């Protein structure tokens, strides 16, 4: 090192500010005893359609879960208007060019919501398989969607999100057989990145797999609440 040069250790995450906000959000979700899932996919994989059917099914149940949706897009409030028809609280986050949601956007849009009346908070991220993977929104689970009209090798091309997601929803499976998509190869590719990743094949058109998806959500909600309860007892 030349004379007069000093190396100063920083040892700091680049996204430390987002991380700080994500911790605050995590605390809010825990205090509200809710499950928060962050849904991530490329544009057009069917996030909004899947959420529409999810809200429809949940609304028809004997004792419906109380859910809400934050939906992110670069422009328009089309998705929020589609989802609001089901009678649950829905808020659009328009990022105005930003390719992902970050913690501060979530915090701003949740500022006037009473989370304690909710069971599940869905966050529909901006359609993008790369950038949203880097931003912690305090969620319990990242869920990655890949539709059968895309390529089976996407888990290998976009490993980060498949590595971090706890569930892989293979969407539009009603089209299997009509498109040259090998579902097994896609699942094997996902398993190469994330051994043991849970997979549900589903369709918002034929309702195939929707029961499994709803069951998964309820299982996670129970697990999160059991964990909150244990923590409360321990402290």
Check residue 13 for interaction with another protein (CB under 8 A): yes
Q: Could you tell me which residues come within 8 angstroms of residue 132 by beta carbon, excluding any fewer than 6 positions away?
A: 38, 40, 99, 100, 101, 125, 126, 161
Give least dist CB 162 to another protein, A: 9
Instruction: Report the site for another protein in 50-79 (rule: CB under 8 A).
Output: none
Stretch that binds another protein, among 1-9, 32-40, 201-209, 223-231 (CB under 8 A): 1-9
| Distance spanning both ends of the chain, measured CA to CA | 50
Angle at 15 between CA 14 and CA 16, to 5 degrees: 95
> Least distance to another protein from the beta carbon of 102, Å?
8
Report the alpha-carbon distance of residue 208 to residue 72 in Å, rounded.
Answer: 26
CA distances from 96 to 83, 92, 106 (A): 20, 12, 15
Least CB distance to another protein at residue 61 (A): 37
Of 64, 89, 151, 159, the one binding another protein (CB under 8 A) is 159
- Report the nearest approach of another protein to the CB of residue 8 (Å): 5
Cβ at position 164, least distance to another protein in Å: 7
CB closer to another protein, 67 vs 143: 143
Residue 235 vs residues 22, 223, 228, 229, 232: alpha-carbon distances, Å: 22, 18, 11, 10, 5
Q: Are 47 and 145 in contact (CB under 8 A)?
A: yes
Binding mask 116-155 for another protein (x = CB under 8 A): --------------xx-xxx--------------------
Q: Is 199 in the site for another protein (CB under 8 A)?
A: no
Nearest-approach distance from CB 41 to another protein, in angstroms: 15
* 164 makes contact with another protein (CB under 8 A): yes
Sheet holding 90-94, edge to edge: 90-94, 67-73, 120-124, 35-40, 141-147, 167-171, 198-201
Task: List beta partners, residue 72.
Answer: 93
Q: Cα(175)–Cα(203) distance, rounded to whole angstroms?
A: 9
Nearest to another protein of 46, 155 (CB atom)? 155
Of 129 and 204, which has the nearer Cβ to another protein? 129
Residues that bind another protein (CB under 8 A): 1-2, 4-17, 98-100, 102, 130-131, 133-135, 156, 159-161, 163-164, 188, 191-195
């Amino acid at each position: 090192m030349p004379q007069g040069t000093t190396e100063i250790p920083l040892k700091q995450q680049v996204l430390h500010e987002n991380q700080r906000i994500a911790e605050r959000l995590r605390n809010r979700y825990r205090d509200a005893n809710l499950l928060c899932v962050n849904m991530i996919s490329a544009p057009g994989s069917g996030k909004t359609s899947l959420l529409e059917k999810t809200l429809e099914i949940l609304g028809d149940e004997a004792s419906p879960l109380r859910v809400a949706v934050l939906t992110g897009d670069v422009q328009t409030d089309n998705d929020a208007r589609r989802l609001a028809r089901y009678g649950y609280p829905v808020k659009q986050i328009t990022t105005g060019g930003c390719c992902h949601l970050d913690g501060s956007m979530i915090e701003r849009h949740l500022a006037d919501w009473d989370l304690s009346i909710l069971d599940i908070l869905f966050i529909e991220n901006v359609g993008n398989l790369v950038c949203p993977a880097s931003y912690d929104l305090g969620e319990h689970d990242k869920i990655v969607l890949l539709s059968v009209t895309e390529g089976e090798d996407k888990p290998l091309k976009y490993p980060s999100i498949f590595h971090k997601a706890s569930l892989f929803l293979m969407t539009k499976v009603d089209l299997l057989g009509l498109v040259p998509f090998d579902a097994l190869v896609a699942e094997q590719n996902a398993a190469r990145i994330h051994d043991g990743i849970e997979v549900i094949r589903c369709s918002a058109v034929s309702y195939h797999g929707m029961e499994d998806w709803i069951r998964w959500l309820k299982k996670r909600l129970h697990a999160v609440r059991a964990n909150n309860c244990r923590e409360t007892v321990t402290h």
